[in-house]
Structure 1
């Protein structure tokens, strides 16, 4: 049962980490412009933020945020501005990118980008206020019901017991697998078709800009 719980947690972690979004956009940009290591490093920034939120959830600190309605609009504004700023940088890199590289540079900004965005991402905070708390409390969790876009169709297909350290271990293991495999797949594909580098960098910029505008709009709605 422990192994099944760990595997279920890993599936949950991968399912939540894999859908397109600002974090994967930055990981993709770092991977195609600088190589596997910077792409992995960017993913590690987002994962570290989740570890921090997990620790704060254990301490009950994250729940305090939900008691102050003004916090969420501020987070939306901060996250939106950061995404638009990073999108501008991604556009510049898309213009300069001519091929995939693997220089192993650890001096990229990817780690700081994903970590900063994660700390100001209301969706990520909302996850730990709801599902994250559920991971820690004894009970059951419908794993696929919380996956973006496909949750309604897959609800009920994998239900596991919560409150187990094995589930949390599997959850973070799944995220770790994603941030290792995703950059590797991009770099591997890119070496076969170098022309994809500027295209993927440009798509990353578009995703960041789209989410940035969405977050700003939600911040305005929250204030009104």
Structure 2
């Protein structure tokens, strides 16, 4: 049987990928930056989102994430601000559909980093992750990963047990995020001769994702505030 330490790191990596990989506003920003400005820009955008996760990690350690969730108006204001920012960045993506100058750097080298960071830090889904899964991962104890599976959980109980509250688990989680923010932009810019043809489509999809999420976030936030 593989050692608990290895299983703990592996589980952390999977949790990190589960946080970073799903389609949404963050990956829309990474995709747009990668295709229009290259791997470095996409990686910096991903790094911005990861730094926001690290901030949430520190806040979860201090117990402040729960405070945010317990203050509905504060949370609603964050959601509404995040929605407005998504609408703004979504408009920018749609306005750039005709541009195919890969490698251009309007806004400076930290443009994508700042965009992703400000969106991530106001993203209720990331707050929710750290309030639920994140807090559970930080609490000392053990987690029997396979025992929660339906039907086969009893038979698989005890096979994959990881240590929660372990630095190995947290390190694996952020390692999984790093794997994504390195690999996802690399996959997008593979075959640079096709990037210019891909840029308008990515800009449209990214813009629509951001606008759609922005509308939902603004409605969610204002429904609580009003």
When normalised by structure 2's length, the TM-score is: 0.85
Deviations 1:171-211 (A, max 9, x none): 00000010000000000055346411110111111110010
Deviations 1:121-168 (A, max 9, x none): 111112112211111102345769xxxxxxx98x96876331111110
In 2 relative to 1, CA 159–218 (structure 1 residues): closer, same or farther, beyond 3 Å? Answer: farther
Q: Which has more radius of gyration?
A: 2
1:148 aligned residue:
none
Aligned to 2:203: 201
Q: 1:3 to 1:198 in 2, by over 3 A?
A: same
Report which stretch shifted further, 3-12 or 191-200: 191-200
Instruction: Specify whether residues 110 and 134 from structure 1 end up closer, same or farther in structure 2 by C-alpha distance, changes over 3 A only.
Output: same
The answer to which of 25-34 and 212-221 deviates more is 212-221
Partner of 2:184: 182
Deviations 1:5-57 (A, max 9, x none): 11111111112211100000000000011000000000000000111111121
Conservation of the 8 A alpha-carbon contact between 1:43 and 1:179: yes
Please identify, of 191-200 and 10-19, the stretch whose mean Cα deviation from structure 2 is larger: 191-200
Question: Which region of structure 1 is more displaced relative to structure 2, 25-34 or 184-193?
Answer: 184-193
The answer to whether residue 84 in structure 2 is matched with residue 73 in structure 1 is no
The 8 Å contact of residues 37 and 106 in structure 1, kept in 2 or not, is answered as no
Take 1:24 and 1:141, find their aligned partners in 2: how far apart are those partners? 29
* 1:33 corresponds to: 36
Once residues 108 and 115 of structure 2 are traced to their aligned partners in structure 1, the CA distance between those partners, rounded to angstroms, is 13
The answer on whether the counterparts of 1:41 and 1:111 sit within 8 Å (CA) in structure 2 is yes
Q: Choose which of 2, 8, 12 in structure 1 pairs with 2:15.
A: 12
SS of equivalent to 1:20: coil
> Hey, what does 1:217 align to over in structure 2?
219
Match among 120, 126, 129 for residue 127 of structure 1 = 129
**Relative to 1, partners in 2 of residues 1:143 and 1:109: Cα closer, same or farther, differing over 3 Å?**
farther
Matches within 5 A, 1:76-155: 76-97=79-100, 100-101=102-103, 107-141=109-143
* Offset, 1:91: 1.2
Q: Distance in 2 between matches of 1:63 and 1:38?
A: 33
TM (norm. structure 1) is 0.86
Aligned pair in 2 of structure 1 residues 217, 134: CA closer, same or farther (>3 Å)? same
Residues in 2 aligned to 1:140 and 1:196: alpha-carbon distance in whole angstroms: 45
Give 1:108 shift.
4.7
